[in-house]
């Protein structure tokens, strides 16, 4: 049987590097390694506490910085000043990311985890951390608008510096009190959250901005994009895996004794991804947005910045907290789900965008 290879569509996952394509596998291996280390070294938490950066042990702080810096070095900061041709796209993305997304995760966390306050708080922290990292990969795989995605990533990066602590205080302290919900004694100040954001997002954000500015000035944009970024890109994954190893080493007993809790963390995440992506894409269709812009907005709305969520959870609640564990479960669920949504987006493109949208 002869196959016309010219008409065979390349699977989206084939465009990923082996490192990215097998990310769920690497995360699973890191979890197992962490569990093994936790059983081998009973005093690991004491060792990590010897040297600290603010309230976080230095090795973990290094891992968190390694997660964030390569991602923020990729952001095209100059795109922020560019004029978005379709203002509707920008407004829709801002509403989805900063109004609907956090509110939805708050609702799902309280509905599905009413008896698990630490995990519930961890999920709310995840919902506040808007996507600035992997969305660029999903966007490219789904043939989204690269320039719009770059603008949205840059805006989300800066918004998180300004808005994260305010929203965190609102959703973790003020709103539960207004609604008469029992927050189980959770007392989070705006400064506690802001301090973690400034350290673990502000510092790598400044480093990423300076790296791009000086790198492009010294070597040119082509060298920076084609040679420098591919070299530092894997560092983010190494930082994530290192942090996962440490977290699972410190929480091994809880995870092995309460595996159902981990499954319960995963369920609201799955619901969240589905509602945010399909809801966003449906709104874009009703607004007659072009496919490439609609895809970019949908993936930006559905994804989350788990690196920042993990950093905030560790900085505010501690490395062995349930809040930190909820953040770590996030990327294990997000990666396969959003890869699947790439296929859904490409199917939707063939189904509803066969002819130009007015």
Q: Which domains does the chain have, with CATH numbers?
A: 20-37+59-350 (1.20.1530.20)
Provide the pLDDT for residue 10. Answer: 61
pLDDT of 357: 46
Interacting residues of 302 by C-beta distance below 8 A, sequence separation 6+: 131, 273, 276, 277, 280, 338, 341
pLDDT above 50: residue 327: yes
Average pLDDT, stretch 98-114?
96
CA-to-CA distance for 341 and 357, rounded, in angstroms? 21
Nearest-angstrom CA–CA distance, 327 and 309: 6
Cα distance between residue 146 and residue 79, in whole Å: 11
**Mean pLDDT along residues 296-313:** 88
Length of the chain: 358
Contact 123, 106 (CB under 8 A): no
Which stretch, 56-60, 63-67, 323-327, 332-336, has highest mean pLDDT?
Answer: 323-327
pLDDT higher at 124 or 157? 124
Over the stretch 175-225, which tens digit does the pLDDT of each residue have? 998 998 876 545 667 777 787 788 878 888 889 899 999 999 999 999 999
Helix (H, G, I), strand (E, B) or coil at 242: helix
The one-character DSSP state at 52 is E
Task: Please give the model's pTM, rounded to 2 decimal places.
Answer: 0.80
CA distance 135 to 194: 24
- Report the phi/psi class of residue 184: left, alpha or beta, with left for phi > 0 and alpha for psi in -120 to 50: left
pLDDT at 184 (0 to 100): 55
* Higher pLDDT among residues 110 and 15, named by residue: 110
Contact 174, 322 (CB under 8 A): no
Closest residue by Cα to residue 186 from 171, 206, 207, 200: 171
Question: In the numeric block, which tokens belong to residue 270?
Answer: 């799955």
- Mean pLDDT confidence for 161-174: 88
Least confident of 14-23, 91-100, 223-232: 14-23
CB 199 within 8 A of CB 224: no
């Amino acid at each position: 049987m002869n196959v016309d290879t010219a008409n065979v569509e390349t699977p989206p996952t084939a465009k990923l590097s082996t490192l990215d394509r097998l990310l769920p596998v690497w995360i699973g291996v890191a979890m197992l390694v962490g569990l093994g280390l936790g059983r081998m070294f009973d005093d690991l938490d004491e060792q990590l506490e010897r040297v600290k950066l603010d309230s976080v042990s230095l090795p973990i702080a290094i891992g968190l910085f390694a997660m964030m810096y390569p991602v923020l070095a990729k952001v095209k900061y100059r795109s922020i000043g560019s004029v978005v041709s379709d203002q509707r796209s920008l407004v829709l993305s801002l509403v989805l990311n900063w109004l609907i997304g956090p509110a939805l995760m708050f609702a799902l966390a309280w509905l599905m985890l009413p008896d698990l306050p630490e995990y519930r708080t961890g999920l709310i922290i995840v919902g506040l951390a808007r996507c600035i990292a992997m969305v660029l990969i999903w966007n490219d795989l789904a043939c989204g608008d690269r320039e719009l995605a770059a603008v949205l990533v840059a805006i989300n990066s800066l918004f998180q510096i300004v808005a994260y602590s305010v929203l965190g205080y609102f959703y973790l302290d003020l709103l539960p009190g207004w609604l008469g919900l029992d927050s189980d004694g959770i007392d989070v100040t705006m400064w506690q959250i802001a301090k973690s954001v400034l350290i673990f997002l502000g510092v790598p954000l400044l480093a990423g901005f300076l790296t791009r500015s000086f790198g492009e000035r010294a070597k040119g944009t082509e060298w920076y994009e084609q040679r420098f970024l591919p070299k530092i890109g894997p560092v983010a994954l190494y930082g994530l895996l290192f942090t996962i190893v440490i977290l699972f080493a410190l929480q091994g007993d809880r995870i092995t004794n309460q595996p159902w809790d981990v499954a319960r963390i995963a369920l609201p995440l799955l619901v969240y991804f589905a509602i945010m992506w399909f809801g966003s894409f449906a709104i874009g269709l009703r607004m007659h947005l072009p496919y490439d812009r609609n895809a970019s907005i949908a993936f930006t709305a559905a994804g989350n910045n788990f690196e920042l969520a993990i950093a905030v959870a560790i900085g505010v609640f501690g490395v062995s907290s349930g809040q930190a564990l909820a953040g770590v479960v996030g990327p294990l669920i997000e990666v396969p789900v959003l890869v699947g949504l790439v296929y859904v987006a490409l199917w939707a493109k063939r189904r509803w965008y066969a002819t130009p949208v007015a």
